[in-house]
């Protein structure tokens, strides 16, 4: 994120912002499954586990009950749960588009929500199986998507008001959400491993989380699996996870030069916005001064081109 700030800004109004709000943020993440297939991640504060006394599937209901809606305005499912109907990206329609016959036959009950905290809690303390480890990776990646962020903004009510940094751009606020969503995920994987809650989060912990997020997209699948298993078993901390995800095939300097070269066509402002985080993770701090970083970026691009020219002359430098 732009710089380390608490998840929620200090407020002086009537809203009671105790730690319960950080807990609610963490507890609201759900895994969306269709049958036994992973569909995505959502944040749904209205979903709850069905209790033993709730109506079970197959029990008849009266017509008024079938047509009823809960006090929250959300439709009651066939199992008596209050749910917020979910739509996948390819199923979404604008308000101007009508429903067709295929849409009417699609049922929200085909998708089920699994509480992320409950799922991780059932894994126990031993290393997750290959199947569960891959599912955790997909959840991890899902937390970084724009869809989850937009869904959280719609469903969080007043929480979003106190989350948003007024002076930041929408992209910077999205980065803040991603860093805290991932931090809460790590803390579920291993309790007390990340100090992210409250008005004074650990600057060091959140800095490592931010760096991990910046390298996640370019890490190999094997590195991701290795890092999440080792972190789950308390063999490594956040710094160790970042090192595994960064890879060991190239030195950090070489990796930085290759990254610069791959983004060579970008103009300085776009280059700075996209690569400030990844380059910082590789030990290169771009100046935040608009009068300074264009020249700094041009110097980096020249170094990258010179390095690539060396590689073309000698494939094994």
* 38 shares its domain with 153: yes
Q: How far is CA 2 from the centre of its chain?
A: 16
> Binning pLDDT at 50, 70 and 90, where does residue 144 land?
very high
**Tokens read off for 65:** 């009950």
CB atoms < 10 A from the CB of 310, how many? 10
pLDDT at 18: 55
* 187 shares its domain with 284: no
Question: Does residue 313 or residue 117 have the better pLDDT?
Answer: 117
Q: At what angle do helices 268-281 and 252-262 cross, to 10 degrees?
A: 160
* CA angle at 28 for the pair 175 and 12, rounded to the nearest 5°: 70
Region 1-18: mean pLDDT is 70
> Binning pLDDT at 50, 70 and 90, where does residue 11 land?
low
C-alpha 114/C-alpha 50 separation (Å) is 12
Domain boundary among 233, 249, 265: 249
pLDDT at 257: 76
3-state secondary structure (DSSP) of residue 76: strand
In a domain, 72, yes or no: no
* 209 shares its domain with 261: no
In a domain, 267, yes or no: yes
Report the greatest alpha carbon distance in the chain.
Answer: 79
* 160 shares its domain with 296: no
C-alpha 178/C-alpha 176 separation (Å) is 5
Q: How far is CA 135 from the centre of its chain?
A: 14
Q: What would the DSSP string read from start to end of 51-72?
A: PTTSPPTT----HHHHH-B-TT
* 191 shares its domain with 226: yes
> Binning pLDDT at 50, 70 and 90, where does residue 3 land?
confident
* 245 shares its domain with 256: no
pLDDT at 222: 86
In a domain, 260, yes or no: yes
Average pLDDT over the chain, rounded to an integer: 76
C-alpha 27/C-alpha 44 separation (Å) is 9
The residue segments making up the domain with residue 271 are 252-313
- Total count of domains within the chain: 2
What are the tens digits of pLDDT across the range 219-236?
A: 888 889 999 999 999 989
Question: Does residue 129 or residue 50 have the better pLDDT?
Answer: 129
In a domain, 227, yes or no: yes
Asked whether residue 175 carries a pLDDT value surpassing 90, the answer given is yes
What are the tens digits of pLDDT across the range 59-102?
A: 444 444 444 444 444 433 333 333 333 333 333 334 444 545 45
Question: 26: burial class by Cβ within 10 Å (0-12, 13-18, 19+)?
Answer: buried
Region 203-229: mean pLDDT is 91
Query: How many angstroms separate the Cα of 240 from the Cα of each of 172, 211, 249, 253, 267?
Result: 26, 12, 16, 19, 33
List of E strands, the chain:
29-34, 37-43, 111-115
Contact of 43 with 155, CB cutoff 8 Å: yes
CB atoms < 10 A from the CB of 100, how many? 9
219-241 in b/e burial notation, b at 16+ Cβ within 10 A?
Answer: beeebbbbbbbbbbeeebbbeeb
Q: How far is CA 10 from the centre of its chain?
A: 23
**What is the value of pTM for the model shown?**
0.62
**Tokens read off for 46:** 């209205």
Q: How far is CA 150 from the centre of its chain?
A: 12
pLDDT at 269: 84
* 96 shares its domain with 116: yes
Question: Does residue 111 or residue 32 have the better pLDDT?
Answer: 32
- Listed residue (101, 164, 121, 140) closest to 223, CA to CA: 140
* 122 shares its domain with 160: yes
pLDDT at 201: 94
Domain boundary among 220, 249, 278: 249
* 1 shares its domain with 88: yes
> Rounded to 5 degrees, what are φ and ψ at 41?
-125, 145
In a domain, 232, yes or no: yes
Question: Does residue 68 or residue 202 have the better pLDDT?
Answer: 202
């Amino acid at each position: 994120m732009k710089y380390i700030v608490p998840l929620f800004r200090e407020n002086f109004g009537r809203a009671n912002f105790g730690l319960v709000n950080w807990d609610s943020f963490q507890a609201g993440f759900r895994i969306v499954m269709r049958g036994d297939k992973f569909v995505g991640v959502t944040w749904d504060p209205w979903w709850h586990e069905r209790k033993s006394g709730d109506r079970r599937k197959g029990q008849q209901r009266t017509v008024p009950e079938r047509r009823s809606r809960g006090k929250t305005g959300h439709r009651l499912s066939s199992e008596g749960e209050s749910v917020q109907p979910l739509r996948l990206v390819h199923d979404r329609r604008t308000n101007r588009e009508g429903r067709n016959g295929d849409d009417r036959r699609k049922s929200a009950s085909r998708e089920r929500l699994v509480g992320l905290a409950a799922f991780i809690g059932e894994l126990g303390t031993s290393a997750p199986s290959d199947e569960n480890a891959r599912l955790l990776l997909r959840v991890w990646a899902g937390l970084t998507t724009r869809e989850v962020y937009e869904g959280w903004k719609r469903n969080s009510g007043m929480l979003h008001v106190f989350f948003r940094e007024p002076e930041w751009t929408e992209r910077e606020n999205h980065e803040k959400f991603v860093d805290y969503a991932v931090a809460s995920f790590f803390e579920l994987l291993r309790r007390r491993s990340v100090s992210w809650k409250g008005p004074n989060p650990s600057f060091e912990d959140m800095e490592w989380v931010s760096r991990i997020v910046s390298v996640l997209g370019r890490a190999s699948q094997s590195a991701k699996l290795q890092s999440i298993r080792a972190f789950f078993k308390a063999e490594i901390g956040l710094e160790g996870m970042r090192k595994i995800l960064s890879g060991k095939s190239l030195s950090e300097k070489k990796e930085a030069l290759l990254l610069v070269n791959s983004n060579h066509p970008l103009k300085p402002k776009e280059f700075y916005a996209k690569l400030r985080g990844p380059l910082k993770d590789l030990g290169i701090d771009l100046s935040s001064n608009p009068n300074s970083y264009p020249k700094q970026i041009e110097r980096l691009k020249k170094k990258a081109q010179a390095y690539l020219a060396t590689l073309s002359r000698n494939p094994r430098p």
